[in-house]
Amino acid sequence: DAGVIQSPRHEVTEMGQEVTLRCKPISGHNSLFWYRQTMMRGLELLIYFNNNVPIDDSGMPEDRFSAKMPNASFSTLKIQPSEPRDSAVYFCASSLGDQETQYFGPGTRLLVL
Partner 1 sequence: KQEVTQIPAALSVPEGENLVLNCSFTDSAIYNLQWFRQDPGKGLTSLLLIQSSQREQTSGRLNASLDKSSGRSTLYIAASQPGDSATYLCAVQGNNRLAFGKGNQVVVIP
Return residues touching partner 1 (CB under 8 A).
Answer: 4, 33, 42-45, 48, 55-56, 91, 93, 98-99, 101-107, 109
Q: Between 71 and 99, whose beta carbon lies closer to partner 1?
A: 99
Kindly state the smallest distance separating residue 80's Cβ from partner 1, in Å.
Answer: 25
Would residue 73 be called left, alpha or beta, if left means φ above 0 and alpha means ψ between -120 and 50 degrees? alpha
Q: Between 16 and 97, whose beta carbon lies closer to partner 1?
A: 97
Report yes or no: 17 and 6 within 8 Å, Cβ to Cβ: no
- Distance (Å, whole) CA 45 – CA 11: 20
